[in-house]
Amino acid sequence: MRNDPISLDELSARIEGKGPAYTRLADTIWGFAELRFNEHQSVAAQIATLEGEGFRITREVAGLPTAFMAEWAHGGPVIGFLGEFDALAGLSQEAGVAEPRPVVPGGIGHGCGHNLLGSGAMLAAVAARDALAAEGRPGTIRYYGCPGEEGGSGKTFMARDGVFDDLDAAICWHPGVFAGVNSARTLANFQVYFRFKGRPSHAAGSPHLGRSALDAVEIMNMGANYLREHIPSDARLHYAITDAGGNSPNVVQANAEVLYLIRSPKVAQAAALFERVKRCAEGAAHMTETQLSVEIDKACSEVMPNTVLEMVMHENIRRLGAPVFDDAERAFAAAIRETLTADDIESSVEFFGAPPEAASLDLAAEILPFDGTPRWMPGSTDVGDVSWVVPTVQCHGANYAVGTPFHTWQMVAQGKSPAAHKGMLHAAKAMAATALDAIRDPELLARAKAELRRRTGGRPYACPIPPEVKAPPLRAAR
């Protein structure tokens, strides 16, 4: 036991020392590339690593086969690190090449960097634990293996089960283009299947006897498209016809299905918009004399930023400075940028809130500015549900070429690159340092909790997924 707290420089050196093992883990998970709620190999690899580090494992958290918790418990406070490890359908891509080259045509790939996300959060948790042990300081460190972020809202199911209720703070990150605090107001959402059942018939011989489920889907979609004019401008409606009723045009389709993703800045607004979309479906069923069934697939709440913790994390990132990249890393980033349009690059810079001149960079050389003001981000994450339960702070990593869009082959191609690894270690340092600051300063945690109460108006967390809805089984591309 030592009398002085571990410095940021010493913490960084410890993380660099463990870095090779965790970059290998990230590369291994990149190779597994498993879809939501089916991440069995990725989970096994993470659990093996954490057991080797002396953490106690709880499997199948919240009844989810690929959710787990790893804990090192030595009193309070209790700090949780959130990790993800699921991939995306249709994004198979060879690593290290600057051209589209699928490993398996139509296969799965890590197009959102979750191979890095989970491994980096694990490294931060281990480093924070090691620092507490060296200091002889009380505190409990947890790593939550959170499945199905991509179209599954695994954390929402976990939050509904009370998994995060006894945390004092939650810390996470997301791989990206620039290093800095991720303070954003996101969109809450509902993802819902609308299924229509009609009556088949011969489309030429007896069309009058048929009741077309596909007609119902098309009429519903038309109604929803007219509805767009009459919803808030920052709300979003997306849909995909997931079952068109078959391949034969001379049969009236008896079954059809459409999947909607309904988003709005607040979960109550998203729920109200869901009801309006449902009425479009009911009207379509009535017009076509078909039967309608509605299944909520998943949902998530908007993120509640926590400025108290974010300013602490920003200071740690400022002290760390941006990752330093070499010529070879910049050359590969430049090759990736050649595959992007000017609009791609401009959109990415705007998304992260970086200054416009950053668009000329191959890899980020500066950290993101942050003045304590959350930005609006037109996307969704199940981190939002955790942030309603416990003060939560996030950062971005500088892992990819400036301009790289999410959910693209370009992101998969960079997922095992040295630059991606450097960005992961940098984020781990920021997260571990922030966790230690929170544990060492009870007043900091008290202020963070007071801010959460103020932002929520003291309302308890209400899960947007009804209690009767179970985590969905693995489906194809979602």
Tell me: the pLDDT tens digits for 204-230? Answer: 999 999 999 999 999 999 999 999 999
- Half-sphere exposure (Cβ direction) of 84: Cα atoms closer than 13 Å: 27
CATH of domain 8-185+302-456: 3.40.630.10
Q: Are 134 and 91 in contact (CB under 8 A)?
A: no
* The two domains 8-185+302-456 and 188-299 share their CATH topology (first three levels equal): no
β-pairing verdict for 78-83 and 169-176: parallel
Q: Which of 147, 153, 174 is nearest to 69 (CA)?
A: 147
Q: 290-337, pLDDT tens digit by residue?
A: 999 999 999 999 999 999 999 999 999 999 999 999 999 999 999 999
Strand partners, 136: none
Cα 358 to its chain centre, rounded Å, is 25
Question: Which helix (H) or strand (E) element contains residue 260?
Answer: strand 255-264
State residue 73 phi and psi, 5-degree precision.
Answer: -110, 120
Where are the chain's structural domains?
8-185+302-456, 188-299
Distance in Å from the first CA to the final CA of the chain: 50
- Please, what is the angle between helix 114-135 and helix 418-440, to 10°? 40
Phi and psi based region of residue 63 (left: phi greater than 0; alpha: psi -120 to 50; beta: remaining): left
At a CB cut-off of 8 Å and minimum separation 6, what does 209 contact? 199, 201
Distance of alpha carbon 251 from alpha carbon 213, whole angstroms: 11
Q: Which amino acid belongs to residue 11?
A: L
Amino acid 378: pLDDT: 84
**Tens digit of each residue's pLDDT (9 = 90 or more) over 373-405:** 999 888 899 999 999 999 999 999 999 999 999
Q: How far apart are CA 187 and CA 139, in angstroms?
A: 33
Strands (E), 55-149: 56-59, 68-72, 78-83, 88-89, 108-109, 140-145
**117's tokens:** 């996300």
How do strand 140-145 and strand 169-176 relate by DSSP bridges? unpaired
Q: Would you state the structure tokens that stand for residue 54, as one six-digit string?
A: 């002396």
Contacts of residue 268, defined as CB under 8 A and 6 or more positions apart, other chains included, come to none
Cα–Cα dist 141/128, whole Å: 7
What architecture (CATH level 2) is domain 188-299?
2-Layer Sandwich (3.30)
**pLDDT value of position 379:** 87
Residues of the chain with pLDDT under 70: 1-2, 472-478
**What are the residues whose beta carbons fall under 8 Å from the beta carbon of 71, sequence distance 6 or more?**
55, 56, 58, 140, 141, 142, 143
Q: What is the pLDDT of residue 3?
A: 73
Distance CA 352, CA 65 (A): 34
CA distance 90 to 237: 22
pLDDT for 376: 86
Q: Is the bond leading into 175 cis (omega within 30 degrees of zero)? A: no
